[in-house]
Structure 1
Amino acid sequence: MWQIFFRFLSLGLVSFGGPAAHIGYFRQTFVIELKWLDEKAYGGLVALSQFLPGPGSSQVGFAIGYLRGGLLGGVAAFLGFTLPSFILLLLLAVTSAQWMEYPITTSIIHSLKLLAVVVVADAVWLMFNQFCRNTPSRLVMIISGAIVLLQAAVWLQFVLLIFAALVGSVALSDKSGQMASGTFSDVTSVREPVKLNYFWLGIFALFLSGSVLLLSSQADVHSTGNIQQELIYLFSQFYQVGSMVFGGGHVVLPLLEASVGDGMSSDRFLTGYALAQAVPGPMFALAAFLGAELWGTQPLTGALVATLAIFLPGFLLMLVALRSWHGLSQRPQIIGAITGVNACVVGFLLAALYQPIFTGAVVEPIDMVLVLLGFGLLKIFKPHILILVLLFISFGVISGCT
């Protein structure tokens, strides 16, 4: 267990670049160097992480730990990979109020917000090319994005996901059982039986139904003074978000903003997202910053509850389907439904790119110039994300000193 923990901790300290980069780090370490699993098994885990909602790269890491050391091995992998970003974002949430008053700090944060525009725009570009390859999927994306821009409520996004799944099951699957967008290519002609783990599925469903019922009741738990009820409400907010995020990474942004946006200012939310760009590890660790902000009297407790809640659904679903992804990938309607959902979340992310990211960061012409230069640099030269972080921070320092 310690070996699993420290291997993932070493990666969590240096894993900049988002889910795609994390998956590359995992392959180099656990397939090529340590040989904990072969290429085919690893490819299956990556495909399954795309199939399920949740934090894609963290789900792959959890599955590697699970296959290596059982359930405790999966937990050890999660703790090791997430701990550095959790600690950094918790500290930034707790201390930021003290140093935000300095002009140079404000300038650096503003520069990181501009970097967020660049990174999310790139994510939209890549996901559009991957998931929106035909007319039905593009229509799903446009409709979803337009509706979310007008009304960003979580329940409405949930309805849109169901709508996209229904459209996809009819219009975005073929008779061979292969995904129209090509995400799943390792499909055999003979269907394998689907053997789900119903114990973990029951736990996932129990938490999700409880969260939906609590949040839909619209009870004002904050006015009761009951700490236990408030923590359950916080857990429910982040658990529901974690259950709905297909695509992982930056896709969590619009759902989180819709879920917890009433509890903090849009500027503070975007500040947390900008800071999350500058730390290694999974993007879902943003929950640590938001949990600490929402639970200001006990920030560590808030950060722990929010982080556990947002990661838990994806891990439970990984346990449900870990042994049956081949069987699932051979059902055309299921694959088509996932294709539709992925197109829908591209629309969500496109809407989030405009509001709150673009509108909260680009306020002057020079800001747009920096966004264009950063996006051009990223697409043409493809530098490591850490280089972009340092460049934008350097600009912030220079702006703050002049």
Structure 2
Amino acid sequence: MRGNAVEVFAAFLKLGLTSFGGPIAHLGYFREELVVRRRWLDDHAYVDLVALCQFLPGPTSSQVGFALGMMRAGWLGAFAAFLAFTLPSALILLAFALAAPAIGGPVGTGALHGLKIVAVAIVAQAVWGMAGNLCPDRERAAIAVAAVILLAFAPGGLGMLAAIALGAMAGLALGRGEARPTGGHVAVPVSRWMAVGVLVVFFALLVLLPLLAGQSPALAVVDRFYRAGALVFGGGHVVLPLLDAEVVQGGWVTHDAFLAGYGAAQAVPGPLFTFAAYLGAILAPGPNGVTGAGLALLAIFLPGFLVLVGVLPFWDRFRSGAAARSLMRGANAAVVGVLGAALYSPVFTSAVAGPRDFALALAGFVALTVGKAPPWLVVVLSAAGGVGLMLLG
């Protein structure tokens, strides 16, 4: 049964205000609200859609939401789902970015320091969990380690891209994927001609934006955030090293401000990609503020949505092939290495200045992995711990 964009917006606004815990938790919230309670689709179709979005680059939960909105109410429904799920956390992080310069004194400075430290715990948890899921054998563990070694000698965006590409090639050479029949069809109305056109736009922007970036500051912002969004495989946390390479190493944002915002992003509901709104608001020189936040936010989400629409008509045939599965296994293993390298630099080296900082980071990691504490609670407690460390001197 078809719905309308207003219904979709209301459903996803509720999810945008209450969906804490990261992409995997978001998918659970979506299933409970839209499959179990509202019955927009059945479990089989939902699992098929999730499999598609996990295979693609981009923010998995936002891609699933975009597709669910499209299935329910067409293109208007897709955009309604995106806006409603994204705006709450984006507005909170924008407000934090605008207020951060006014935060001072031992309490404010300590809280910001605690946010940098909690980023260590959260990224370490992501590496730990992803390594267990994506590197369960010696071959894929070796790919992850090779990615770390490569980035030790070739840090930055090109090194990350090379690590993922070489990981994919290694996965294909190892040939551990198995062909299997598909289980259902993702029923989203996109023709093959439209899909091909959208894929052309996706790759054209990836090639042309770097060539046009020098013509205006706004295009430079769009270029860097679009490239980061286009190369994210394996989960939202992987955007951290990509954004660091684009805006921190590019001299637009300081390490301290970057990590403080990343820590704050863990305490809000909704997609982690809204971290881009915070970064866009504090860019130097500019555009920044509300304009920079809007440009960064749209640019980082756009490639994931373009590639999603572009592969929909071809997905059932492609995902059943052994070669495709082998490529993605190798690429995902390399992604673990990319995130592991980022855990050391810039996350650990920029946040941990001594044994007290390390103890607070370790306590946060244990709370997340062993205590199963919600990320927002660990963020709040780490900010309080940072204040305590500052007062102790």
Moved more, 341-350 or 260-269: 260-269
The answer to whether structure 1 residue 327 and structure 2 residue 330 are counterparts is no
Q: 2:89 & 2:168 partners in 1: Cα distance?
A: 33
Equivalent pair of 2:236/2:273 in contact (CA under 8 Å) = yes
Q: How do 1:77-88 and structure 2 match up within 5 A? A: 77-88=81-92
Per the TM alignment, residue 198 of structure 1 is displaced from its structure 2 partner at its CA by 4.4
Tell me the TM-score normalized by structure 1: 0.88
Q: Is 1:344 the counterpart of 2:334 in the alignment?
A: yes
Q: Does 1:57 align with 2:47?
A: no
Cα distance, 1:104–1:209 mapped onto 2, change above 3 Å? same
What corresponds to 1:237 in structure 2?
Answer: 224
Question: In 1, are the aligned partners of 2:198 and 2:307 still within 8 Å (CA)?
Answer: no
Partner of 1:183: none
Equivalent residue, structure 1, for 2:200: 205
Q: What secondary structure, in the 3-state scheme, does the structure 2 residue paired with 1:381 have?
A: coil
2:372 is the counterpart of 1:382: yes
Return the offset for 1:127: 0.7
Contact 1:196–1:324, Cα closer than 8 Å, also in 2: no
Unaligned runs of 5+ in 1: 179-185, 189-194
Matched, 1:107 2:110: yes
Matches within 5 A, 1:147-162: 147-162=150-165
Please say if residues 140 and 164 of structure 1, whose CA atoms lie closer than 8 Å, have aligned partners that are also in contact.
yes
- SS, match of residue 358 in structure 1: helix
Give the equivalent residue in structure 1 for 2:121.
118
8 Å CA contact retained: 1:104, 1:399: no
TM-score normalized by the length of structure 2 = 0.90
Q: Distance between the aligned counterparts of 2:113 and 2:28, measured in 1?
A: 30
1:62–1:77: 8 Å Cα contact kept in structure 2? yes
Tell me the residue number matched to 1:291.
280
User: Residue 205 and residue 269 in structure 1: after superposition, are their counterparts in 2 closer, same or farther (change >3 A)?
Assistant: farther
Of 138-147 and 296-305, deviating more is: 296-305
Q: Is the 8 A contact 1:82 1:281 kept in 2?
A: yes
Whichever residue aligns with residue 177 of structure 1, its letter is A
**Residue number in structure 2 paired with 1:246:** 233
- SS of the equivalent of 2:226 reads helix
Distance between the aligned counterparts of 1:240 and 1:211, measured in 2?
Answer: 7
- Is this contact kept in 2: 1:12–1:84, CA < 8 A? yes
Distance 1:6 1:381, change over 3 A: same
* Superposition map of 1:152-301 within 5 A: 152-174=155-177, 176-177=178-179, 187=182, 197-215=192-210, 221=214, 229-261=216-248, 262=250, 263-294=252-283, 296=286, 298-301=288-291
Q: In the alignment, which residue of structure 2 is the partner of 1:35?
A: 39
Q: State the Cα deviation string for residues 106-139 of structure 1 (Å, max 9, x = none).
A: 1111112222111111111111111112222112
Count of residue pairs the alignment pairs up: 379
- Give deviations 1:152-191, integer Å, cap 9, x for gaps: 22123222222222221221434x415xxxxxxx746xxx
Q: Name the counterpart of 1:182.
A: none
The structure 1 residue matched to 2:11, chosen from 1, 7, 13, is 7
Counterpart residue type for residue 358 of structure 1: F
- Tell me how far 1:321 sits from its aligned partner: 2.4
Superposition RMSD in Å: 2.1
Q: In structure 2, how many angstroms separate the alpha carbons of the residues matched to 1:149 and 1:202? A: 38
In 2: Cα distance, 1:156 partner to 1:363 partner = 27
Deviation at 1:201, TM superposition (A): 4.0
1:197 Cα shift? 3.4
Shift of 1:364: 1.6
